[in-house]
Amino acid sequence: MHSQSMPVGILVSRHPRSQHAQYEVVRPIAVVTDMPPLPDWTLLRRDGEAEVFYAGQSHIVLYPGEAAHYEDNLALDPPRVWVAIRPDLDHFGTVAALSLDPYEGEAMADVESDTVEALPMPMALREWLADFIIQFPPNRTFYKRQRDTAGRGRRDIEEGGK
Measured distance CA(37)–CA(80) in Å, rounded:
24
Who wins on pLDDT, 25 or 142? 25
User: What's the farthest any 2 CA atoms get from each other in the chain?
Assistant: 81
Distance of alpha carbon 147 from alpha carbon 82, whole angstroms: 37
Q: Residues 100, 36, 45, CA angle at the centre, nearest 5°?
A: 90
| Percentage with pLDDT > 70 across the chain | 82
Residue 35: per-residue pLDDT? 80
* pTM for the predicted model, two decimal places: 0.80
Q: Percentage of the chain surpassing pLDDT 90?
A: 63
Out of 19-28, 41-50, 83-92, pick the least confident.
19-28
Distance between CA atoms of 121 and 128, rounded to whole angstroms? 11
- Any residues with CB less than 8 A from the CB of 64 and at least 6 apart, and which? 1, 2, 3, 136
Residue 80 CA to residue 11 CA, distance in Å, equals 15
Is residue 12 a contact partner of residue 53, using CB atoms and an 8 Å limit? yes
pLDDT in tens, 97-141: 999 999 999 999 999 889 999 999 999 999 999 999 999 998 766
Locate the DSSP E strands across the chain.
Answer: 4-15, 25-32, 42-47, 50-62, 80-86, 94-99, 115-120
Q: How confident is the model at residue 5 (pLDDT cuts 50, 70, 90)?
A: very high
* Amino acid identity, position 88: D
At 48, the amino acid letter reads G
Residue 61 has pLDDT above 80, yes or no: yes
Residue 63 pLDDT greater than 80, yes or no: yes
Tell me what pLDDT residue 4 has.
Answer: 95
